Amino acid sequence: MNQETKYVYENLLFELKENIGILTINRPKVLNALNLDVLKELMNFFTKVIDDPSVRVVILTGAGDKSFVAGADISNMQNFNPVQAKQFAAFGQSVLNLIEICPKPVIAAVNGFALGGGTEISMACDFIYASAKAKFGQPEINLGILPGFGGTQRLPRLVGKAMAKELVLTGDIIDAVEALRIGLVNKVVEPEKLMDEAMATAGKIASKGAQAIKACKECINQGMDIDLHNALILEHQAFAILCATEDQKEGMKAFLEKRKPEFKDK
């Protein structure tokens, strides 16, 4: 079985280019809205890809040129009772948590609307590259609810408490330039250059050692939620562990020999 047939879904498309996996949410007729089936498939993919050595970096995007993810599928949510709503939100959070802690870097390539669950899933990725046509927002307040897939928690961690409150409480939608200004996205490019830019950065990351990448992600993610003293302990412990790897020996030897390192993830 080749790696592309390993990831065959009804609502997701997967393509492997060298060591970069491109995962596309493929429901363009409903602007790639998230429903339970999509969430289950995302859970399956990110559970599998953790142990797949052929995929070193994942780019997550949406099908078509209009939408990344326009939000959760409201038609499925309209008649939720509190128990169903809790189960849906909890499952959605578990999927996004899995994306966030995935040892493989995940880049969100936001090609259009990223509203509600679209903003939330992009924030669970390691960073966001956005098309100049992209739109972001948490408009759940307009439906009489709040962001349930992590929006009230990840957004203030990225843009600050006051800005997050303004966006969540107004339900305002912002463009890519404003998203860049407030620190929600890393880069804004013309639509036709979005995937090229994401691929270039993914390729740069894919050339590094997997163990060091995993350790960097863990230290940043975990360190953000603890005090500085304990975060620094976490860092020096990870530093020490990496110095026992073959990749550390190869990386430093290559530096001294003025050549590119050949990492083997050992």
List, in order, residues 6 or more apart from 225 with CB less than 8 Å away.
none
Tokens of 70: 């326009």
Same-domain pairing of 150 and 63? yes
Q: For tokens 């289950």, what's the residue?
A: 40
Q: Is 140 a catalytic residue?
A: yes
CA–CA separation, 186 vs 190, rounded Å?
14
Same-domain pairing of 128 and 222? no
**Residue 177's CB: how many other CB atoms inside 10 A?**
12
Q: Find the CATH number of the domain harbouring 14.
A: 3.90.226.10
The active-site residue out of 15, 41, 140, 178 is 140
The active-site residue out of 4, 120, 218, 257 is 120
pLDDT tens, N- to C-terminus, the chain (266 residues): 455 678 999 999 999 999 999 999 999 999 999 999 999 999 999 999 999 999 999 999 999 989 999 988 788 888 899 999 999 999 999 999 999 999 999 999 999 999 999 999 999 999 999 999 999 999 999 999 999 999 999 999 999 999 999 999 999 999 999 999 999 999 999 999 999 999 999 999 999 999 999 999 999 999 999 999 999 999 999 999 999 999 999 899 999 999 999 998 88
Is 130 part of a structural domain of the chain? Answer: yes
Same-domain pairing of 186 and 157? yes
Q: Is 120 a catalytic residue?
A: yes
Is 68 part of a structural domain of the chain? Answer: yes
Same-domain pairing of 156 and 251? no
Same-domain pairing of 198 and 230? no
Q: Find the CATH number of the domain harbouring 236.
A: 1.10.12.10
Radius of gyration for the chain, computed over Cα atoms and rounded to the nearest angstrom: 19
Q: What's the total number of domains in the chain? A: 2
Is 18 part of a structural domain of the chain? Answer: yes
- pLDDT at residue 3, as a whole number: 59
